[in-house]
Structures are given as structure tokens and as C-alpha cells.
Structure 1
Amino acid sequence: MDTIKIAVQKSGRLNEDSLRILKDCGVPIDNGKDQLRASARNFPLEVFYLRNGDIPQYLRDGVVDIAIIGENVLFEKGQDLEVAEKLGFSKCKVSVAVPKGSGYKSPADLQGKRIATSYPNTLSHFLDANGVKAEMHIINGSVEIAPNIGLADAICDIVSSGSTLFKNNLKEVDVIMRSEAVLAVSPHIGEKQAAILEQLRFRIRSVLRARDNRYVLMNVPDGKLQEIIRLLPGMRSPTVLPLAEEGWSSVHTVIPQERFWEVLDQVKQAGAEGILVCPIEKMVV
């Protein structure tokens, strides 16, 4: 049977999030301890657990057909590779940070300085775009300690919460790029594997839509029905059902997560009562 080969990060948060979205897509993976390859039980998919920085080359060589990988890694090592889908999780930034006491005002202040980084290509692109020449020290891991030990004047590294910068007395001064997990595709993917990829993308989109929306039920006085319906941003038109109590209706709708609290405040003020909010498992449109 034809299968599609997908690479995911061997360990860490991206690994966990990648396996979670596959599971939510109905593709659970049986993976024993320290196993480097595993197969899905009910979908033609085989998982390769690889080091994050090696994944772009595996895609380029056609060893794997697709991969879940951070945009920051693709920008650094695989700008030639196609992105099939943005996945919305494992978000972070690649940023420039300097000691808190620094008088940094603009990228021009990096002229002639020493910058420690694990992202030399990304940093070079940023420096070139700003007409700055600086000395790079390429470090794999623990980049944030470089200024404290006198190795560098600044760093360029991944920033998630900023707590690591704070602990090392650094401050973020420039965001070079914002990153999230993406589904990347090998240029050598076969026709049958491309068809399986489309099936997987359909499932992924359904899961991501569900994560971004909430199902809401509310009781509404009939006299306020049209006013509240106008406030709802849901799919096409809400479902309206009469309640056993005369003069009241039950309104069912879907509200985007980003507008959720704003809309709830509005409909409550307009007269909605008994508002229930439910997560959505899958959402097919």
C-alpha cells in the first residue's frame, strides 16, 4: 500500500504539538520509546523522528515527502521548500536581544558589534537589509549566555515567552521574523503521495477551524431576536429554535475565538440569557 512519509521533530514541544494535531486528524501514531520510525494505525502515513535542523535536507533529498517544521528553520535552512499549510501552533519569534543597560536605538547600533546566533542566514539577511556589518559567532545552544561571558555584544535567537532573556539580563530590541509550525513539502513528492497529502490537509484544516471557533447556544427573547442575530458573526445564519416557554427562542451559532468575548458582551447586553459555550472537535465547511 502506498504511504506518505512525514518528518517531525524528534523531541520537544513541536514534537508533542505535531503528534497532537495528527491524533486530532484521526491519525494516531504508535511510537515506542526511542523509536525513530512509526506508522499510523488507520491512515497511510509513516512518521520519521528527526533532528529539527536536519529536516529541510531530508525534504530536499526526497527521503520524506512532508514535514511539520518551524518557519524559522525553513527560513534558515530551506527557503527553497514549499509550504503547504500554516498550522497555527508552536509560535515564536527570531529576535535580536542586547543587555538591558544597552542604549540600543536601531539596527545601526549593531555596526561592528559581535553577535552570537544559531541562525546565521537569518541574521545575515537582517543585517544586509539594514546595511549593517557585524561579526557573527555561530553557537548551537545557550546563545543567551554569550553577552554575560564576554563572547558577544548581542544575540539573535528564538524568543517565546521572553523569560530566558529576562533571566540573562537581556532585552528584545528587534523582531526579525515571526514563526509558527508549518507543513512543508518535498519537491520530489510522488503523485500518489500528493493525493494522500490532500486528504491530510483536508483533515488538518477541519481541525484548525475547530480550534479557532466556539459553538455558542443562548436563550433569547423573541422581541430581541433580530437585534441579536445582527450581532452574530457566525457561519451564514444562526440556527433558531423555539423554546417550550412561549416568547423565547434558542439561538445556536459559531463565533471566531478572536471575537468571542467581544460578541458575548454584546449579546448579553442585548438580552441573551443562559449562554453556553462548547468547544468544536472538527469543523468542515
Structure 2
Amino acid sequence: MLRIAVQAKGRLYEETMELMKEAGIKLSNAKRTLLIPSKNFPIEVLFLRDDDIPQSVASGVADVGIVGENEFVEKEEDAQIVKRLGFSKCRISLAIPKDVDYQGVNWFNGKKIATSYPVILQNFLNANNIKADIHVITGSVEIAPGIGLSDAIFDIVSSGSTLVSNHLKEVEIVMQSEAVLIGHNALSEEKKEILDELMFRFDSVQKAEGKKYILLNAPNENLKEIINTLPGMKSPTIMPLAEEGWSSVHSVIDDKQFWDVINKIKGLGAQGILVVPIEKMIL
């Protein structure tokens, strides 16, 4: 049995539970339960505060955990990043009052900075030879300059709307963060096998994200050009149609290329284009 620590609530919790569901891992809907075993996979889920997850994995209370990279780096616990998960993306940035004339990082010399991430901030200041007073706050860091508690803040930024509403502007991006799967450094062989299967399932879900499966009818005279236009995993599948001179083409394309590709193959005579969402992708 592999024990995985996850955040007990919030956006990271919701996205983690969605990933588990897409990976075919069934969990009970028990409320206020600290530890829940899976019904169909050899794992149990331990619900914790996000800042407790790195320590729980490092100490072996949990075998692996899903946590924001920012929390993992901040806690400096002895564990390893096993896999980047690509969701709950944000950045950790320095922000100052919007009416301040900012000329560069030297502005922070002698200033007071409010943050919930003193370790990451201190490392940044040391790297830039900046001496500033770090004021540690848990909670609404962004209000600190407005009430005179600090000159600047160092905090998570997603859309930036919270900064705007507090009359702040982002001036230095210190770190990019996303959800990561972290692991204990001394897992047994049995638990490593379970973890490998878990990562295989996660990979299959992630590879399908942003992909579409398309089927189309193509005139054979333009078949080579249409095939060259389609960015398939290896190469498109081609099957002859009952109508002479036509073939059925199957391929996978990325959402980012979708409309550009569709317009090009339509211009080459493709017809009957069918687009299907992909749930899993096994390579």
C-alpha cells in the first residue's frame, strides 16, 4: 500500500482529485476523514495542510505527496521531486505600490518586505546582494503595504487581480511554480512498483490533455500534402474508402494547432472531418 499526502482543500485539492479520477482511482466520499483508502488501487490518501506535506513525505509519514513546488522549495525538506504535474501553475513575485518609480532590484535595499515565503525570498535577496527586512505573515500578505506594515510584498501571483485590487504592481518574478509529485528517498521495492504504475496512469492522462483525435476523408491526389500537414504521434493512419480515389485519414493534433491545421486540410480537399476528444493516451 502506497500512502499519498494531498492538500485537504482548495484549488490544488480539486485538481488533484480530478487527476485521481481520470487515472481510474476510486476514493470514497467520506467527509472529514484524514485517511481514505482507494477502492480499486493499492494507495491510501492522507489529507493534510499544504505546508505539512513536504515534512510528512521527508519523514516517511507519507510515501509520496502532491504539493505546490513553492511549498516544497520553501520547506527545504529531504525529499525528491518525482514528477511535475502541470497544473496549479503560479509564480512567486515581488510587488510594490503601483505609484512607486521602480528602477530595479536595488530598490529593495533597506526596505521591509512582507511574505509567507521567507526562505525563497532570502535566497533571492542573497543572490542579488540585497539587504532587506523580511516580515513573515501568514494570510493576506497583499494588504501589508496598504496598512503600513511593509514597503513591498513577496507572494503567489496567478492572475494578478489581487495585486491590482490592492493597488500593487508586480516587479520581479522570482520563481515559477506548479503542482509536483514528491517522494520519500527510501521507498521499498513494492512501493516503487505501485508508484511506477501511478505515474504511468498520470502520464496517460496528461498526454491526452489538449489533444484531439480527428478522422477525415481525403482525395488521394492530395493525400501526401494532407499527411504532411497533420502532426500525428508517429504518422497518420491511412485506409482506402469504398469510393475510388479517396482515403480515410486518422490522426492526433494539438489544440494549439487545431484551427490552422483544419483550414489547411480543408483547402486541400479534406471532407467529412470528425473531431473526437481524447480521454487517455498510451504511448
TM-score (norm 2): 0.95
Name 1:58's counterpart in structure 2.
56
Contact 2:55 2:77 in 1 (8 A): no
Contact 1:120 1:138 in 2 (8 A): yes
Aligned pairs for 1:253-268 (under 5 A) are: 253-268=251-266
Cα distance in 1 for partners of 2:209, 2:253 equals: 11
Aligned pairs for 1:156-235 (under 5 A) are: 156-235=154-233
Cα distance in 1 for partners of 2:275, 2:164 equals: 37
Aligned pairs for 1:76-225 (under 5 A) are: 76-78=74-76, 80-225=78-223
Quote the RMSD (CA, aligned, Å). Answer: 1.5
Cα distance in 2 for partners of 1:258, 1:81 equals: 35
Name 1:281's counterpart in structure 2.
279
Contact 2:54 2:77 in 1 (8 A): no
Cα distance in 1 for partners of 2:272, 2:163 equals: 45
Give the superposition deviation at 1:247.
Answer: 2.6
Contact 1:214 1:277 in 2 (8 A): yes
Name 1:8's counterpart in structure 2.
6
For residue 253 of structure 1, give the secondary structure of its aligned residue in structure 2: strand
Give the superposition deviation at 1:79.
Answer: 5.6
Cα distance in 1 for partners of 2:157, 2:49 equals: 20
Count of aligned pairs: 283
Consecutive unaligned residues in structure 2, runs of 5 or more: none
> 1:78–1:212: structure 2 CA closer, same or farther, 3 Å change rule?
farther
Give the superposition deviation at 1:191.
Answer: 1.9
Contact 1:70 1:182 in 2 (8 A): yes
- 1:17 pairs with 2:15: yes
For residue 49 of structure 1, give the secondary structure of its aligned residue in structure 2: strand
Consecutive unaligned residues in structure 1, runs of 5 or more: none
Q: Which amino acid aligns with 1:87?
A: L
TM-score (norm 1): 0.95
Name 1:250's counterpart in structure 2.
248
Cα distance in 1 for partners of 2:282, 2:195 equals: 17
Contact 2:94 2:153 in 1 (8 A): yes
For residue 148 of structure 1, give the secondary structure of its aligned residue in structure 2: helix
Give the superposition deviation at 1:124.
Answer: 0.8
Q: Paired residue for 1:32, among 13, 30, 46?
A: 30
Contact 1:234 1:256 in 2 (8 A): no
